[in-house]
Structure 1
Amino acid sequence: MARLNVKPTRMELSNLKDRLALSTRGHKLLKDKQDELMRQFIVMIRKNNLLRDEVEAELIAAMQEFVVAKSLINESFIEELFVGTETNVELNIVEKNIMSVLVPEMNFTTSEAEVSSDVQYGYLNSSSELDEAIDRIETVLPKLLELSEIEKTCQLMADEIEKTRRRVNALEYRMIPQLQETIRYIQMKLEENERSAIVRMMKVKDMGD
């Protein structure tokens, strides 16, 4: 490990010891942050996977019911039904702090028409499959929003974990070893200087005797 290019003086030795102590504390804090981020990240990933499986299962079921309904009902009626149906969704996004990572927290509200799902069509043209497909799609909407929130949170946390990991490694494998090596070098030089000074004093004393 290459040492820092500094003069081997006691003042520099004191400064380097202070830097080493600060770097060691910083390394511990960053390591603790990295560990906690990883813990929360794993929790979020598990939650994400469970929710994704649930959402995908509901969407697949809705599409299957819609395909059956489409085979039983006039296609033009279905197209008119969905063209004439409006959904008003208001999305509110705020930020929350997780270990210094700002992640989105999404909340949404829907219009009364969306909530009630009061679709106007006759029983002769309707089918239970179409009703189920519409109900499932409406039910999965909040879960889709939650899934997007969790996935974005996981992405931001993964980025922060990577940045923290790089900083931890820089301190652990470069900065701290450099400081330790430089401190050893200066201490060795100062000890050599002290021994040389003692030898000179002894020689002077001998010459005086």
Structure 2
Amino acid sequence: MAENVTATRMELLNLRKKGSLARRGHKLLSQKRDELSRRLVEISRNIGKLRKEVEQEILRTSRKFMMARATVEPEDMKAALSVPTKRFSLAVNFASVMNVKVPEMAKELEGDIICYGMGNTSGELDMALRALERTFDRLIELAAKEKQARLLATELQSTRRRVNVLEHVVIPETDETIRLINNKLSEVERDNISRLMKIADIIRA
């Protein structure tokens, strides 16, 4: 970098401005990196706990369906679930976390999940479907948090790279160039002073 820079006071002033800007950027990006790390750790802890809860709910729901299948004839089970009356849709909005757009998911439901008459079914099937409905809420929450974690992790990685470039490349190179220009300007100034003194000696002689 220093080899391609002209040693002038204007260039020195520009480099000092660039160095000051790089240091401010480094400070801000370091703060962003630290906050992203904190948020990511917090979300990851919640995800671990939530994933265990969801896995347990899915397991309980599966067992309820197994009990329902044991108490309802296969053809009755197929007939009961063949015409669903509940409609499910997913609304996705975005919020900003440290300038990262992260999704916020919310379900929209219409109708009742119990879509059959009571004559040929059992209470176990009712409980299984209700359990499945509750599990959906937790699955949506888990999916949103995992997506948030992935987006924040990607942004954190990018921010770390930028901090490292500023810290280990841009700022050191700028400081080194400033030092070299200062040395060259000082050398030129000494040469000028020496030349002026010689001229003064000649004039006095």
Question: Could you state the TM-score of these two structures normalised by the residue count of structure 2?
Answer: 0.90
Residue 165 of structure 1 pairs with residue 160 of structure 2:
yes
Residues 105 and 140, structure 2, Cα contact 8 Å, conserved in 1: yes
Amino acid at match of 1:41: L
How many percent identity over aligned positions? 37
Match of 1:184 among 156, 161, 179: 179
Partner of 1:126: 122
Residue equivalent to 1:141 = 136
In structure 2, distance between residues paired with 1:58 and 1:19? 56
Q: Deviations over 1:136-164 (max 9, x none)?
A: 11111111111111111111111111111
SS of the residue 1:95 aligns to: strand
Give the deviation of 1:70 after TM superposition.
Answer: 2.1
Displacement of 1:169? 1.2
The residue aligned with 1:12 is 11
Contact kept in structure 2, 1:91 and 1:107, CA below 8 Å: yes
Counterpart of 1:40 in structure 2: which amino acid? R
* Structure 2: runs of 5+ lacking an equivalent: none
Cα distance change of structure 1 residues 78 and 3 upon mapping to structure 2, 3 Å threshold: farther
Aligned pairs (5 A) from 1:38-187: 38-114=37-113, 117=114, 119-122=116-119, 125-128=121-124, 130-187=125-182
Q: Which moved more, 1:142-151 or 1:62-71?
A: 62-71
Task: Tell me the equivalent position of 2:193.
Answer: 198
CA distance, structure 2, for counterparts of residue 30 and residue 184 of structure 1: 26
Q: Does 1:37 align with 2:32?
A: no
- The alpha-carbon deviation at position 131 of structure 1 amounts to 3.4
Question: Relative contact order (C-alpha < 8 Å, sep 6+): which is higher?
Answer: 1
Secondary structure of 2:66 counterpart: helix
Letter in 1 for 2:25: G
What letter corresponds to residue 184 of structure 2 in structure 1? K
Distance 1:35 1:46 in 2: 17
Distance in 1, matches of 2:68 and 2:87, equals 25
The 8 Å contact of residues 96 and 105 in structure 1, kept in 2 or not, is answered as: yes
Please report how far the alpha carbon of residue 6 of structure 1 lies from its aligned counterpart in structure 2 after TM superposition: 0.8
Conserved 8 A contact 1:4-1:178: no
Normalising by the residue count of structure 1, what TM-score does the alignment of the two structures yield? 0.89
RMSD: 1.9
Cα gap change, 1:163 to 1:72, in 2 (>3 Å): same
- Asked whether 1:3 is paired with 2:17, we answer no
Question: What is the Cα deviation at residue 125 of structure 1?
Answer: 4.2
In structure 2, C-alpha distance between the alignment counterparts of 1:5 and 1:121, rounded to whole Å: 85
Question: Does structure 1 retain, via aligned residues, the 8 Å contact 2:83–2:115?
Answer: no
